[in-house]
Amino acid sequence: MTEMQGRVAIVTGSSRGIGRAIALELARRGCRVVVNYRSNAAQADEVVEQARATGGEAMAVQADVSLLAEAQQLVEATLAAYGTVDILVNNAGIARDTLLMRMSEEDWDAVLATNLKGAFNCAKAVQRTMLRKRAGRIINIGSVVGISGNVGQANYAAAKAGLIGLTKALAREFGSRGITVNLVAPGFIETDMTAGLSEQLITAAKERIPLERLGQPEDVAAAVAFFASDAAAYITGQVLCVDGGMAM
């Protein structure tokens, strides 16, 4: 039995990519995992099946976390099924990359709504439960882009930089109640998002990474599992880059 046995974790946007890897890692460590998705029910159900195959407990809950009411419904569904929330991983994110001159107001608003406001909505929705029991882990998934910036990603970089500020503010706000808030900032990770990139772009990216390779979703999941564990009980307000040294 692991230290996380029976703990309840919500992982937003966990039907694929990094979110999926995080959900499966937490399930493997004994958590009861809520796999949140916005539109792809089949993929979410697949993650639930994989989580159960590792011996974990899991269920899928549809919610668009950019909407506060739906974030609250996600938490309510979790409480109805499992009675509590111990861990919240704010992973849901979208990208609408283009140069500022071509970026529409809708491109800006959509990315900020999911990537930044989504984390605010979910933290707000779980706070009462965590504050009441004076325990909890909130882990936000940022990006090295939120630290270094990137051409064509003004909206994405702004949202991820905003997540760093949100992480530090909530760490101060919730610290006296035993709730830690940290952020994992992935670099270039092999996912659906990077699969469509040209070989030329991938090669250029590797040249900027001291470890000379892309990361795997499991690399990010391991960092999240650490922040969720008892080993990280005295760590809060921190930003951990999982990027092969890219943002140094």
Residues involved in catalysis: 156
The token pair that represents 21 in the structure block: 């890897």
CA 66, CA 113: separation in Å to the nearest integer?
5
**Which among 145, 15, 120 has a CA at the least distance from the CA of 66?**
120
Which residue, chain included where needed, has tokens 């936000």?
Answer: 140
Residues 6+ apart with CB under 8 A from 34: 8, 9, 10, 11, 58, 59, 60, 61, 74, 77, 78, 81, 82
Cβ partners under 8 Å of residue 136, min gap 6: 85, 86, 87, 88, 126, 129, 130, 174, 178, 179, 180
Q: Which two tokens stand for residue 71?
A: 């974030």
What the block records as the tokens of 13 is 């946007």
Decide if 136 contacts 86 (C-beta within 8 A): yes
Does residue 136 contact residue 126 with C-beta atoms inside 8 Å?
yes
Inter-residue contact 179 to 234 (CB < 8 Å)? no
- Residue 188: HSE in the Cβ half-sphere, 13 Å Cα cutoff: 22
Q: Could you give the C-alpha distances from 207 to 142, 145, 161, 181, in angstroms and in order?
A: 22, 16, 24, 32
